[in-house]
Amino acid sequence: MAKVAVITGASRGLGEVLAQFLAGQGYALVLTARHAEALEKVAHSLASYNIPVKTVVGDVADAAHRRAVVDAAQSLGDLSVLVNNASDLGVSPLLPLAEYPLETLERVFKINVVAPLALAQTALPALKANGGLVVNLSSDAAKGGYPGWGGYGLTKAALDLVSLTLANELRDAGVSVVSVDPGDMRTVMHQDAFPGEDITDRPLPDVTVPFWAWLFGQDRATVSGGRYAAQAESWEAANATV
């Protein structure tokens, strides 16, 4: 059966780059996002790869949607990669934590922390059966303490801990988990963080392709538990031995 990857937030930006990359690696794909037209455009762009592609439109915060995503993946073959790329920036323009609306913070935690964990839980039986890899997209905001980025950064710091804990807990089950900081990029989300500013000095998301080629070329158990910066000059597997 086909090897299958699920990518959330796949309708643009880094999600679209990941879809192109994994299609090139021969994965059948399940792509999900909230915006149907943009998602279908990405799916159609993959036609030349001659791999099965399914789109599931919806919100990763919704349990029924997550179940539909995993069901779609299992209908294609062996679910072996889950990329939790979908994220919510929160307020725009950015606000300091002392002024941050708590109802928005709850929503951002639901999208950026609870949903990735819940999707991993839903997909876990298939991931265990196929020696799966979970990739959780983080941010340097998780570690930087940057003014204005606290709401978003809190969620990414929590997701980093989710990733490391799952990696430790699931190692014996053959499931690997990594956290990836893609770095600053010229994306819609980054523009939303800086409304009205020129962000053309940031690289496009395809700057991360060398990292994805490295990551997917490694033994999954060796990279598991690592937190990687995609725009670093080089990478070292989390469990590499000298």
CA distance linking residue 155 with residue 153, whole number of Å: 5
CA-wise closest residue to 180 among 78, 60, 87, 62? 87
CA distance linking residue 143 with residue 109, whole number of Å: 16
Torsion, Cα of 123, 124, 128, 132 (10° steps): 50
CA distance linking residue 6 with residue 115, whole number of Å: 14
State the CB neighbour count (10 A cutoff) for residue 67: 14
In order, the DSSP letters of 140-194 are THHHH--TT-HHHHHHHHHHHHHHHHHHHHHGGGT-EEEEEE--S---HHHHHHS
Which DSSP symbol is given to 113?
Answer: I
Kindly name the residue from 27, 100, 152, 228 that is annotated as catalytic: 152
The question of whether 152 is a catalytic residue gets the answer yes
Give me the active site residues, please: 152
